[in-house]
Structure 1
Amino acid sequence: MIRRLALASAALGLLAAPVAHAEEQAEMTKGEAKLAKMLEGRVAGKPESCITMIGSRPLTRIDETALVYKSGNTIWVNYTKTPDAIDDSDYMVIRKFSGSQLCRSDQITTRDRFSDMYTGFIFLDDFVPYRLADKEGEG
């Protein structure tokens, strides 16, 4: 019964916006959809060539999409020049040349978790900061 009502509503166009949104998400890869969800409600800032990495906070891999680093309320995204080299089944070996900073000039190689064999190279690009959007009219 509920399913029939939902189908009838869709036929009447009452669910047009959610259907359009679902179609839009269907065109995204799994990684792109995961990143979009992480960045919901955030706006991109000016890209920077380096970010400061504090302590042991992890650099998150999103398969075939981007590298993500969270620092406070900012989510830094590096879309890389080689997103297809980002694979969750590999681990990254990062060679930094700037101390506690990770820069686009640093080298990242990937290795297979099980065989420890070299699998690829990730070429970094600029890091894009995403911060929560200001909520105008509130406060």
Structure 2
Amino acid sequence: MIRILRPALIATAGLGLIAPPLAAADEPQQEQTEGEQELAKLLEGRVAGEPVRCINTFGNQNLRIIDETALVYGRGDTIYVNRTKHPEDIDDDEILVIKRFGGSQLCRLDNVTTVDRFSHMFSGVIFLDDFVPYTKVKEPKDGDG
């Protein structure tokens, strides 16, 4: 009788070892980082457009660095988000040095390096990706049918 129950007990114990990883898969995803939360707040009320390789940088446009998340360029109705190839390399405490090859445009193949704010020494390279435009959604005015 014990010999018959032994395989059943071993199988049941094996299920007990498998169950915790399966239960972990059902848990909600990890919380957003501070950078992701900041970007989400910035993008509220905006709709993503088709990614572009280059953006115009003439005029008084802002470049915002969101730590370990993205570079955000522009202001007003449309802003452009570049998550870069390795967003974890973006540090808002570092200085970006951008070498452009397209005149007044910033393109995904432009050379972007970082310099430590305190020692002024080279600290890394940022590889740009496509720029995704986010445009404010216009609210319909009252009385428009």
Q: TM-score range by the shorter chain?
A: 0.7 to 0.9
CA distance in structure 1 between the aligned counterparts of 2:79 and 2:60, rounded to whole angstroms: 16
Deviations 1:18-64 (A, max 9, x none): xxxxx98x810000000000000111000000000023433110000
Instruction: State the one-letter code of the partner of 1:58.
Output: N
Find runs of 4+ consecutive structure 1 residues off by over 6 angstroms.
Answer: none
Cross-structure match for 2:78:
74
Cross-structure match for 1:27:
31
Structure 2 unaligned regions, length at least 5 = 1-27
Cross-structure match for 1:51:
55
CA distance in structure 2 between the aligned counterparts of 1:116 and 1:56, rounded to whole angstroms: 26
2:103 maps to which of 99, 105, 109? 99
SS at match of 1:115: coil
Cross-structure match for 1:38:
42
Cross-structure match for 1:5:
none
Distance 1:115-1:65 versus aligned 2 partners, 3 A rule: same
2:114 maps to which of 88, 93, 110? 110
Name whichever of 63-72 and 94-103 sits farther off. Answer: 63-72
Query: CA RMSD of the aligned region, Å?
Result: 2.0
CA distance in structure 2 between the aligned counterparts of 1:56 and 1:43, rounded to whole angstroms: 23
Instruction: State the one-letter code of the partner of 2:84.
Output: T
CA distance in structure 2 between the aligned counterparts of 1:42 and 1:56, rounded to whole angstroms: 21
Q: What is the Cα deviation at residue 72 of structure 1?
A: 3.4
Q: Tell me, yes or no, if the aligned pair for 2:65 and 2:90 is still in contact at 8 Å.
A: yes
Q: How many pairs are equivalent?
A: 116
Q: Which has the larger radius of gyration?
A: 2
Instruction: State the one-letter code of the partner of 2:61.
Output: R
CA distance in structure 1 between the aligned counterparts of 2:105 and 2:82, rounded to whole angstroms: 14
CA distance in structure 1 between the aligned counterparts of 2:59 and 2:86, rounded to whole angstroms: 26
Calculate the TM-score normalised by the size of structure 2: 0.73
Q: What is the Cα deviation at residue 117 of structure 1?
A: 1.0
Calculate the TM-score normalised by the size of structure 1: 0.76
Name whichever of 76-85 and 54-63 sits farther off. Answer: 54-63
CA distance in structure 1 between the aligned counterparts of 2:57 and 2:76, rounded to whole angstroms: 11
1:133 maps to which of 108, 118, 137? 137
Name whichever of 53-62 and 112-121 sits farther off. Answer: 53-62
Q: Tell me, yes or no, if the aligned pair for 2:85 and 2:128 is still in contact at 8 Å.
A: yes
